[in-house]
A and B are shown apart, each in its own frame.
Chain A
Amino acid sequence: MSTVNKSDLILDELKRRRQREVVDVEEEKVKIVIFSLLDDCFAFYGSDIKEILPPQTIYFVPGAPDFIMGVINNRGDVESVININRFLGFPDPEMGPQSRIALAYGAGIRSGILVDSILDVMDVPISLISPPLSTLDEGKREFVTGEMAYGNKNVTVLSVGKIFEKVK
């Protein structure tokens, strides 16, 4: 009776594994900037966001549209700041220490967008972003490109391009 050495078994197993054809497919990912507005979570695609700026003075511009909060001085560049709450049916925001201005680009327009806080910037597999909920409020739906989970919260992914198309 022949005895099988354990080391031989291991070597055989390694040989089998090496022969096994392994195709490593990395799923396409997309960068997402997750932010809060009141108690809700939203996100922009990272490719639409050029900078995230700290809270600062927003200078009122007489006669500007009501969704424009004013303008800021970003290192010598003057940028408009959009009140995104107006598009989502939320009350007007207040600038606080956690507030951030996301400098966004879309539809040929560059503008800041005031958000209550930035929660995360992360790469997520595209497959994790699902189509917008059919139950979504009609007013918001035109700006929404998808939904995703973030911890135990639902995140609504917004399109900067669609928002800017609406305002230009």
Chain B
Amino acid sequence: MSAYAVNKSASMEEINLLFFKAGGLRMAVEASQVSEMMDAEGAANSGLPLVRLDEMLPLPEGQTTQGKTFLIGGNKPYGVVVDSIDEIAAVGIDSLRPMPPLAASGSVAIWGVCLRGDDILLLVDFQRLAGPVQAEEKER
């Protein structure tokens, strides 16, 4: 299994974000939510429940299945499959914005956006995704 730890340190004025792509969208998650990143083989061998992000969010292009997996820790750890990982970077909180009210009525897991130059990246909260995932596990 190829796995490596995510640097979780960041000051109060900035946040460590892990930037990734899924379903044609560029997104970011707070790095501290991810305990490990694994390749497809490692994820398959881990025995953990895996969810594809496009099963949790309506993504425009769907997802590849051979992507990277984020291991989300907690009482019931699980993996979230994404298409690719871009970078991990400390980002000033002044570059984060809440989602405009009309656009915010969708998934609770999308909690805001990060501005990078002219680009907008969606901020995803995997802890908020965890609810449906763990409920699914309970049913099994």
Contacts and interface: CB of A to CB of B under 8 A. Distances in A.
B9 to A, nearest CB: 27
Contacts of B115: 73, 76, 78
Interface in A26-84: 57, 59-65, 68, 70-73, 76-80, 82
Nearest to A112: B100
Interface residues of B, number: 23
B119 interface: yes
B108 to A, nearest CB: 9
A16 interface: no
Contact of B103 (A57, A68, A73, A168): A68
A117 interface: no
Nearest to B122: A61
A57 B113 CA distance: 15
A78 B113 contact: yes
Given A61-B110, A62-B58, A63-B57, A167 B120 contact: no
Contacts of A70: 103
For A64, A82, A111, the residue with the greatest tally of chain B CB atoms inside 10 Å of its CB is: A64
A82 B102 contact: yes
B102 A63 contact: no
Interface residues of A, number: 24
Nearest to B121: A59
Contacts of B97: 77-78
Nearest to A62: B57
A6 B82 CA distance: 95
Contacts of A82: 102
B99 A168 contact: no
A59 B112 CA distance: 12
B132 interface: no
Contact of A109 (B57, B101, B122): B101
B102 A65 contact: yes
B102 A111 contact: yes
A80 B113 CA distance: 12
A81 to B, nearest CB: 9
Nearest to A167: B102
A110 B101 CA distance: 9
Contacts of B99: 61, 71, 78
B106 A62 contact: yes
Given A60-B60, A62-B58, A62-B122, A71 B103 contact: yes
Contacts of B119: 57, 73
Interface of B: 25, 57-60, 97-107, 110, 113, 115, 118-120, 122
Across the A-B interface, give the 9 residue pairs with the lowest CB-CB distance, nearest first.
A63-B106, A63-B107, A62-B57, A80-B100, A80-B103, A64-B106, A80-B102, A59-B120, A78-B97
